[in-house]
Structure 1
Amino acid sequence: MKISMISFTKAGADTCIRIQDALTSNGHDCIAWGKEAFASEPGILPLKNSLLYWTKTAFQEREALIFVGATGIAVRAIALYLRDKTVDPAVVVVDEKGKYAVSLLSGHLGGANDLTREIAESIGAEPVITTATDLNHKFSVDDWAKKNRLRIGDMNLAKEISAAVLNEEVIGVSSDFDIEGEPPEQILFRQAGKNITYGLRISIYEEPAPFPRTLFLIPKTVTVGIGCRKGISREKIEEGFYKVLDKEKISVNAIEKLCSIDLKKEEPAITQLAEKLEVPFWVFSAEELGATPGDYTPSDFVNRITGVDNVCERAAVLGSQGELIVKKQAINDVTIAIAVRKEGYQWR
């Protein structure tokens, strides 16, 4: 985890160094700052700009902020930069004596609760966790989704489900993937019944919704193979891409990567689509694609141009190391195929 730390007193700097040493030993990337008067302490960088500027920079570049000082200082510092729980970094406050570690912001999705516990255990502090599901030892859908690398489809519905859990309601679950272990109390692994309003659906697909209030948890396990003519427009690539996703009811949030032949390595329309989706674009040689086992849709024309009988299907399978679920779809000089890799999840 990329962590920025700040302290304001000599005692705070000492505690900051203790935390930094412990977290660095645990594999975190920790950088500590302090007032210039205490920057002579080993490992403490002098704070050259204002606290607000430091906070703004840390919010943009780091995954967690640790304030060693008063909670009020942290609250005032971060207030201007709060956006949303899905993007805000974790914020933890530790008093200058290291007695208490407080999870202040992004407890579940940002990882502040886990970081707070880690700090507390490392320096002998008391962890202060205020999220209701943690206090009541209940299932937290956003925490579980994060730990299993699942994208939450609707944060407002996730809040409703957390409230339902706290109100002792039963939550249903339906999954296209294996989930190992015993489900938590109140979680029933079955289809919706008349007494189940809320449910979780773990799937790459946007349909069906098996519960009256279905929260989709989306695994990033889909690879899209793409073939196209040279110099194709971005608009045509996007049209073909989104038409296939819409037809197959596959969530765009499930896309893990785009793949093609190395001849397309610098094809602007594909690289721009990958940038837009914020996913990598992998390419393979004709030899690598040709050696990929499976039953693919052959094309003499594609073979003459590229040296392999099919690009999109082979690229999707090779890139995902999974199963081809959508065979070649041709739309306006674009060919699209989709593969999904097998994934498993854990209840605990």
Structure 2
Amino acid sequence: MNSQKTAIYALTAKGADLARSIALDTGAVSYVLERYAEDRDISFTQFLPLIAETFSLYDSHIFIAASGIVVRAIAPHLKSKDIDPAVVVLDQKGQFAISLVSGHLGGANELTRMIAEMIGATAVITTATDCSGVPSIDMIAYDNELEIGDIGLIKHVNAALLDGEKVGVYDPESFLDIEGLSDYFYRVEDAVDLIELRCGVCVDWRVHDLPESVLKIYPQCLRLGVGCRRGVPAVEIRGLIVAVLADHGVAGQSIASMGTIDAKNDEEGMLEFAERMGLEINFFSADELDKIEGTTPSGLVMKHMGVGSVCEAAAMKQAGGQDLIIPKNKSARVTMALAKDFRVKDI
């Protein structure tokens, strides 16, 4: 548990004592009703306005309160299971710890078990896969640091597992670790083999035309390199990249980071593009990029940037110098290239 990203709330005197005990052991932030607060706590007087302010600020929330009060407090702020923070509810005596929201992807189930063990409570986990002792595809993907395409399709795969059916998996590069899970999954040799199944899982950085019964999972193995002229807006950068990915049948969801030359570290369009796409952006010096072999040099880039290649070299630099899967493509003012990081499975 990241202590600075977990908040604990208490509405009673006994709850305040329990909150401080947990906060002391974990370093989490404790919010306590004003009349029961001590110097180490953050005091509050109005519960609902407090939750409206803090709900999006923390990865996890622990409430020492009645479940009904908690539900009414957090309901207006819930968005989706893939982005909602973990919510755990405790009674003031510390007898029960209940995983309420974001049990799998948000980590509430794990947090519930940890807190229960810490204070000697009974952990209450109600997610069906946990209760039945079968694996959940969302947790397997999470543990393998893979991105799930349509969160809504998780339920179809987990439902099949709960019904005792084996689920077919197309994973040509073995990103999804299902070793030891042969009672629940089996591998297929071609993505089209999934089409006629009740449901299936496709793990690939390539685009496949598959029905909604197939859950698409994307390995975070692609590194994007970008170059642009001064003042190019984010929409123009995005336009080239989206078009090129479509032409090559590559899924943008598998791009984990982007890179460029450090002279562009204040380029607003590039920074905005990275933020909108949720990409980590890396800046490299001309010397760093010049050491990358196998790029296509450009006299114009050399003239303006002092290096023969920006987009190809930046992509390959992030990927550990591996070969490009998409060489330099360009529009009037933007260049892009894509490399595959073969180290991802070993990290």
Change in CA separation of 1:37 and 1:235 when aligned onto 2, cut-off 3 Å: closer
Residue 3 of structure 1: aligned partner: 6
Q: Secondary structure at the match of 1:339?
A: strand
Give the one of 43, 46, 51 matched to 2:43: 46
CA contact (8 A) 1:5 1:32 kept: yes
Residue 65 of structure 2: aligned partner: 69
Residue 225 of structure 1: aligned partner: 225
Change in CA separation of 1:193 and 1:260 when aligned onto 2, cut-off 3 Å: closer
* C-alpha distance in 1 between matches for 2:212 and 2:8: 44
Stretches of structure 2 lacking an aligned partner (at least 5 in a row): none
What TM-score does the superposition give when structure 1 sets the normalisation length?
Answer: 0.89
CA contact (8 A) 2:144 2:175 kept: no
Q: Deviations over 1:240-262 (max 9, x none)?
A: 11111211222222222221122
Counterparts in 2 of 1:53-92, with a 5 A limit?
A: 53-92=49-88
**Does 2:10 match 1:12?**
no
> Offset at 1:65?
1.1
> Offset at 1:109?
1.2
Paired positions, count = 337
* C-alpha distance in 1 between matches for 2:85 and 2:194: 38
Residue 301 of structure 1: aligned partner: 300
**Does 2:135 match 1:139?**
yes
> Offset at 1:222?
2.0
* C-alpha distance in 2 between matches for 1:186 and 1:345: 24
Change in CA separation of 1:322 and 1:74 when aligned onto 2, cut-off 3 Å: farther
Residue 180 of structure 2: aligned partner: 182
CA contact (8 A) 1:177 1:345 kept: no
CA contact (8 A) 1:148 1:345 kept: no
Residue 287 of structure 1: aligned partner: 287
Residue 198 of structure 1: aligned partner: 199
Amino acid at match of 1:4: A
CA contact (8 A) 2:144 2:176 kept: no
CA contact (8 A) 1:68 1:94 kept: yes
CA contact (8 A) 1:322 1:340 kept: no
Q: Deviations over 1:191-215 (max 9, x none)?
A: 3379843221222222254x88321
Amino acid at match of 1:153: G
> Offset at 1:123?
1.0
Q: Deviations over 1:104-151 (max 9, x none)?
A: 111111111000000011111110000000000111112222222222
**Does 2:262 match 1:266?**
no
> Offset at 1:17?
1.9
> Offset at 1:322?
5.4
* C-alpha distance in 1 between matches for 2:165 and 2:206: 26
CA contact (8 A) 2:207 2:249 kept: yes
Q: Secondary structure at the match of 1:305?
A: helix
Residue 315 of structure 1: aligned partner: 314
Amino acid at match of 2:105: L
* C-alpha distance in 2 between matches for 1:242 and 1:142: 27
* C-alpha distance in 2 between matches for 1:154 and 1:273: 22
CA contact (8 A) 2:194 2:200 kept: no
* C-alpha distance in 2 between matches for 1:47 and 1:248: 55
**Does 2:106 match 1:107?**
no
Stretches of structure 1 lacking an aligned partner (at least 5 in a row): 25-29
Change in CA separation of 1:234 and 1:63 when aligned onto 2, cut-off 3 Å: closer
> Offset at 1:304?
2.7
Amino acid at match of 1:296: T
* C-alpha distance in 2 between matches for 1:305 and 1:139: 54
**Does 2:243 match 1:243?**
yes
Change in CA separation of 1:74 and 1:236 when aligned onto 2, cut-off 3 Å: closer
Residue 30 of structure 2: aligned partner: 32
> Offset at 1:165?
1.0
Range moving further from structure 2, 112-121 or 74-83 = 74-83
Higher RCO (CA-CA < 8 Å; seq separation 6+):
1
Q: Secondary structure at the match of 1:309?
A: coil
> Offset at 1:277?
1.2
Q: Secondary structure at the match of 2:230?
A: coil
Q: Secondary structure at the match of 1:61?
A: coil
Amino acid at match of 1:303: M
What is the aligned-residue RMSD (CA, Å)?
2.2
Residue 161 of structure 1: aligned partner: 157
* C-alpha distance in 1 between matches for 2:111 and 2:335: 45
CA contact (8 A) 1:327 1:337 kept: yes
